């Protein structure tokens, strides 16, 4: 098991749809182990394969809710049914989202409160999870990665311009940037 570099926005693998996983072989199993370890160290609550530079449609997640229930798993070839998002003004504190591929930044984004995830686990078995609240947000964020979409792509003004300015100022948005959890310290 090893900690993998997390690629930063601008790397092409983050900005195109991921390839379907055809075989759950040892390479995929090793990848998933590495992703759990990388996510834990980062730390984060979700991580997609594309974020460690691997063009495969899968993500891992690990999040403990307010009732101390742990939600942890891997979703291979996921599909996501997303109920319509609520309307109304954004809550700029409660709806803040971040991404390990845009490290140190957070912006508010409206998400649906309720989704249904269907995917395959490491044993090749299909499963379905009905999620609401923050877990629904995690699934939407990670599923977006599989589609080649970052949460910053979905921002509305003025946050869209703020994000673009921040990324431009740091010099990201072009290929070649990554960071390694445990070695690089990035302000959150
Ligand atoms: Ni992300």
**Angle at CA 118, nearest 5°, toward 131 and 110?**
45
SS3 assignment, position 16:
coil
Ion ligand 1: residue ranges with CB closer than 5 A: 99
pLDDT one-digit tens code per residue, 130-143: 999 999 999 999 99
Q: Is residue 40 annotated as part of the catalytic site, yes or no?
A: no
pLDDT of residue 98: 97
Ligand 1 centroid – CA 47 distance (Å): 6
Instruction: Count CA atoms within 13 Å of residue 8 on its CB side.
Output: 20
Ligand 1 centroid – CA 138 distance (Å): 9
The domains of the chain, with CATH numbers, are 6-179 (3.90.45.10)
Ranges in the chain, pLDDT < 50: 188
Ligand 1 centroid – CA 48 distance (Å): 7
Token pair listed for 27: 């390479």
Ligand 1 centroid – CA 27 distance (Å): 22
Ligand 1 centroid – CA 151 distance (Å): 7
pLDDT of residue 185: 65
Euclidean distance between CA atoms 156 and 151, whole angstroms: 11
Q: Please name which of 59, 98, 96, 49 lies closest in space to residue 79, comparing C-alpha atoms.
A: 59
pLDDT one-digit tens code per residue, 100-141: 999 999 999 999 999 999 999 999 999 999 999 999 999 999
**Angle at CA 109, nearest 5°, toward 103 and 113?**
120
Tell me, yes or no, if the pTM score tops 0.75.
yes
Choosing from 142, 157, 162, 187, the catalytic residue is: 142
Burial of 118 (0-12, 13-18, 19+ CB in 10 A): middle
């Amino acid at each position: 098991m090893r900690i993998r570099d997390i690629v930063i926005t601008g790397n092409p693998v983050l900005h195109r749809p991921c390839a379907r996983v055809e075989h759950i072989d040892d390479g995929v199993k090793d990848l998933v182990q590495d992703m759990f370890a990388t996510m834990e160290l980062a730390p984060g609550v979700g991580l997609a394969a594309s974020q460690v530079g691997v063009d495969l449609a899968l993500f891992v997640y690990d999040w403990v809710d307010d009732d101390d229930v742990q939600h942890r798993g891997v979703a291979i070839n996921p599909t996501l049914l997303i109920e319509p998002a609520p309307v109304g003004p954004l809550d700029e504190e409660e709806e803040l989202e971040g991404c390990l591929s845009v490290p140190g930044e957070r912006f508010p984004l409206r998400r649906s409160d309720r989704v249904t995830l269907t995917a395959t686990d490491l044993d090749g078995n299909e499963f379905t999870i009905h999620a609401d609240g923050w877990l629904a947000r995690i699934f939407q964020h990670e599923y977006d990665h599989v589609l080649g979409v970052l949460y910053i792509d979905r921002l509305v003004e003025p946050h869209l311009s703020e994000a673009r300015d921040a990324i431009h100022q740091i010099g990201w948005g072009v290929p070649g940037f990554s960071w390694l959890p445990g070695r690089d310290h990035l302000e959150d």
